Structure formats: C-alpha cells, structure tokens
Amino acid sequence: MLINDQQNKLMLFLTEHQSTFINEWIELSVIENNDPHKEEIRKNAVTMYGLLIKALSSTYSEAELQEFAYKVGKERLEAGINIGDFIYNVNTGRSILIKYCFQAKLPSQELESFVNNLNSLFDTFCYHSVKRYTQLKNRELHTKTKYINENHMDKLAILGQISSSFVHEFRNPLTAIIGFNKILRDEYPDLKYLDIIQHELNELNFRITQFLHTSKTEIVKKGKENVAIDLLFDNLKQLCYASTVDNKINLTIDKAVPLFLYTYKDELKQVLLNLIMNSIDALKQMPTKRELRISTTKDAKEVIFVISNNGPMIEEENTKTIFEPFYTTKELGTGIGLFVCKQIIEKIGGTIYCKSDENWTSFFIHHPISAWE
C-alpha cells in the first residue's frame, strides 16, 4: 500500500494526464468502423481509468469491476469483434498506464506495489469480460443451432408431405401399368421385351418406395434376411450398368470372399445404390480414367463396405456437411440422398463417413453383424 503522500501524488498525476492517456489508448486500439458501440469505447476507457484511480485508495469493489466487465463483454459480443482484438486493446491500455506511472517518478518500492495492483485489476477485468463474452456466445450458438435443427425438421416435415403425396399419385397409374403388363405376359408369353418392362417397372416401384423413406422417422422394415452380398452386388451392377457404360466408367467389385449378412436388404441396397450413383455423377467431371471400386471386409463385429471413386476431391470441412439434409453440390440435387443414407445406417446401428484426398474419395459403411447371423 502506498503511503498517503505518494498515493496522493500518483492520483494527482494520473488525474492531470487522464485525457492524454485516454486519447493514446483509443488511438492505438483496434476498433472497427462498423462497431455499434464505437461511441461507448471512450466512455468505457474513462470508466476503467476511474476504477484505477479508486484502486489507489481501495474505494472500489470487485463487484463494481465485475458489473462493468460484464457490460463491456456484452458490448464486444454485439459488436461481433475478434476476442483477440479485445484482449490486445486491454493490454495496450495496461502498457500505456504503466508507462505513465513511471513518469510520476515515485520511489521504486511504492511504484512496484501500485503496478502489481494495476496488473491484478486488469487481469480481473479481462477474466470477467471474456467469461461474459463466452457465456453469451455459447448461448447465442446454442440458440442458432436449435433454430437450425428445428428449421431442418420443418423442412423434412414438408418434404414428407410432398413425398407422400407424390408416391400415392404416382403409384396408382404405375400399379395399373404393372397389372396390364402382367396380363400381356400371360396372354403373349413369347412377346419380346415384356420381361424387361416388368423388371424396370419393379425397379421404379422400388425407387418410389425408398423415396418415401425420406419422410419417415423409422425404417420401413420387411424384416431381416440373410443377404448374399455377392448377389446383391450383381444386382447393383445391373442397375447401374447403363450409366457406367455410357460414361466409360471402369467398375470393379471385390467379391473375393463369399459373404452373407443378416440385415434389411432393401435399405442396404438403397444406401449402396445411392453411393454408387453419386460416385458416377462425380466421375462425369473427370476427362479420362474413371474408376469406381466397391469392396467389403469383415471381422468379428462388423462388415465394412467401401465405395471409392477417383473423381474430384471433397474438401475436408465438407466431408461431414454432405450428410446434412438439403446440403448439395449438384446443380439439380435435392440434398437428401446422403442424409437418408446416414439415417438408415445409423438406425441399424452402423456408421457412415467419407474420406477424400487428391486421388480417391471413399465412403465407408460399418454395418454391425447381428447376433442372429
């Protein structure tokens, strides 16, 4: 504690140089032109200076400092500033003030005592300001995240209504066509192309059913069955054969190990087909050497499917975003395909993720092995 005469001398010196100190502090601080509280910055500097003067006579309370720090922290959040700039400004004021204290020519022992108190005051102010800033920032982020999630749910609810209406409107004439095609097959069993028409109609019906899954919160289950993965891959290869040939894509499927998986066949087929078609779309952007590879590995707990293509790299920050609803990089994309894939895989207890570099983009599906298998 400074003795009275030295304390009074320093208080008088700081009071006389207040304007000079404030002007220098403001001039050296980082202040954005669009700061909504720009006019408050000078007032806050004056208030802080007043608290420092009070600190000399121990007439200020920490509660008063905390209340002021909370006010400044709130203003800095509303200004949208970089918190690092704020800390820099506070420390700039600290350095200038210490410089002025040395100019008061006090005995070193008394000056050291005051500088220690000054540092403690600035440290406490920074702590409470940043604490308040962080509390309000986290609250703001929580509110935004909650709004985004609710907004996504609203969009999905609307999508569900649209898809449900679409399915019912489309399925009625499709059912009629399937029925008449069956009659034609019965009456003219040797007529060409009817089997192909029937197959394509069945696949279209399958696609419509799977699209309806996007509007539901649970998987539409026919029940699990023991699925031969090599036969499933053969079926998928047939479905995408035209696309791979037309786009000169070399499709390689690793079927070295016979594999059976007790799972929901239609749901798994939907996910794999979606990833394959997405890969084909990506490969269209490559001028030559378009490679699409599908492989599986198995251990005691899970089967891992890997669908890889040598198309354009997906930036690391987007490898998770692509699974969010309505996020798409395609000009005519809906942004629901990968979201639905993620929903399906997670609801059967698995995981799906993407890794991408300059050479390969790969989607990994970890499918748990059921105890019934």
Of the ranges 162-166, 214-218, 268-272, which one carries the lowest mean pLDDT score? 214-218
Q: How large is the average pLDDT for residues 7-16?
A: 79
d(CA 140, CA 359): 40
Residue 213 is given by DSSP the state: G
Dihedrals phi, psi of 130, to nearest 5 degrees: -70, -35
CA atoms within 13 A on the CB side of 184: 14
Q: How large is the average pLDDT for residues 205-231?
A: 66
Dihedrals phi, psi of 158, to nearest 5 degrees: -65, -45
Which of residues 319 and 170 earns the better pLDDT score?
A: 319
Which of residues 320 and 71 earns the better pLDDT score?
A: 71
Superfamily per CATH, domain 219-368: Histidine kinase-like ATPase, C-terminal domain (3.30.565.10)
Show me where the domains of the chain are located. 1-217, 219-368
Which of residues 149 and 73 earns the better pLDDT score?
A: 73
**Res. 109: pLDDT tops 90:** no
**Res. 268: pLDDT tops 50:** yes
Amino acid at 324: E
Q: How large is the average pLDDT for residues 303-308?
A: 93
Question: Does residue 75 contact residue 35 with C-beta atoms inside 8 Å?
Answer: no
Beta strands 249-253 and 290-298: pairing type? parallel
Superfamily per CATH, domain 1-217: Histidine kinase N-terminal domain (1.10.490.70)
**Res. 220: pLDDT tops 50:** no
What pLDDT digit, counting tens, does each position of 223-235 carry?
Answer: 788 889 988 998 8
pLDDT of residue 149: 65
pLDDT of residue 371: 46
Of the ranges 4-13, 42-51, 98-107, 188-197, which one carries the lowest mean pLDDT score? 4-13
pLDDT of residue 328: 58
